[in-house]
Amino acid sequence: MRTKNNRVALVTGGTGGIGTAICEKLYKDGYTVVANYRDFTKAMKWREEAKKWRDDHLRMGIDVKIVEGNISDFKSVSRMMEEIRDDIGTVDVLVNNAGITRDAPLTKMTPEQWFEVIETNLNSVFVCSKLVIDEMIKKGWGRIINISSVNGQKGQFGQTNYAAAKSGMYGFTKSLALELAKKGISVNTISPGYTSTPMVMAIKEDVREKIISQIPMGRLGFPEEIAGAVSYLASDEAKYITGANLAINGGLHMF
């Protein structure tokens, strides 16, 4: 049974693989949840897909708002935050979840593949965090949860761009955690391993099978296993945890 609380959670890339599970979990926890999706001006189908995602969830009794925004663009996110503030309220829990891959060995990687990944996966963390912290500081409460990756910890063939962005999140998280430690705001990372989402299913089957064979638990993670950790880090129980990284990877990397 859902007991509504008075907190607003924003999940970037909220309609994606892990994002969907996070939205559903936080909604069940009682938050008013807003799922950000990609700038539809680049592809109208993204807006249609997001609307369908919302309608499907409404039919399941899960009322998650959707809001469009290019998360690496300061102006776009400023407008998005204004919309959320006007319609719902200021953001109490920010989950920087949106991420893309453009895998290629560096010999073959194009500048576009590099910059696209750094913008979406790392610059977005700066932009979105920057635009929520003033209100969190005013309220004396806030949670920023950055979804990194096992590959930011261990590196991965074909992912210099992705691993650099995901690894960059750790330095950002620890530094911002220091800056906000006295303000009632925690900043943490979660590092999922290979999780059963369209992103991982897009890896060529033979390559993916080889990766799975290296996971000590012998399987991919479930998005719900990541969402459970987000729920905990967002809760009041977790208030003494800041600057931390929680690895959820089936034993693939232990550090």
Q: Which residues are catalytic?
A: 162
Alpha helix ranges (H) inside 140-159: 150-154
Between β-strands 185-192 and 93-96, what pairing exists: parallel, antiparallel or unpaired? unpaired
Which part of the chain contacts ligand CAA (CB under 6 A), choosing from 65-73, 83-91, 157-165, 225-233?
Answer: 157-165
DSSP symbol at 222: P
Q: For residue 246, state whether it binds ligand CAA (rule: CB under 6 A).
A: no
Backbone phi and psi for residue 162, each to the nearest 5 degrees, phi listed first: -65, -45
Cβ neighbour number for residue 129 with a 10 Å cutoff:
20
- Judged by beta carbon, residue 141 or residue 222, the one nearer ligand CAA is 222
The DSSP bridge partners found for residue 95 are 11, 145
Q: For residue 100, state whether it binds ligand CAA (rule: CB under 6 A).
A: no
Identify the residue among 5, 90, 123, 156 touching ligand CAA (CB under 6 A).
156
Identify the residue among 29, 92, 103, 225 touching ligand CAA (CB under 6 A).
103
Identify the residue among 159, 161, 186, 189 touching ligand CAA (CB under 6 A).
159
CB of 252 to ligand CAA, least distance (A): 9
- Judged by beta carbon, residue 56 or residue 157, the one nearer ligand CAA is 157
DSSP secondary structure string for all residues of 38-104: --TTT-HHHHHHHHHHHHHHHHTT---EEEE--TT-HHHHHHHHHHHHHHT---SEEEE--------
**Who's near 205: CB < 8 A, 6+ residues apart?**
none
Which part of the chain contacts ligand CAA (CB under 6 A), choosing from 9-17, 32-40, 193-201, 227-235?
Answer: 193-201
- Judged by beta carbon, residue 14 or residue 152, the one nearer ligand CAA is 152
The DSSP bridge partners found for residue 35 are 11, 66
Q: For residue 109, state whether it binds ligand CAA (rule: CB under 6 A).
A: no
CB of 195 to ligand CAA, least distance (A): 7
DSSP element (H, E) containing 103: none
Give contact residues for ligand CAA (rule: CB under 6 A).
Answer: 101, 103-105, 108, 149-151, 156-159, 162, 194, 199-200, 203-204, 207, 211
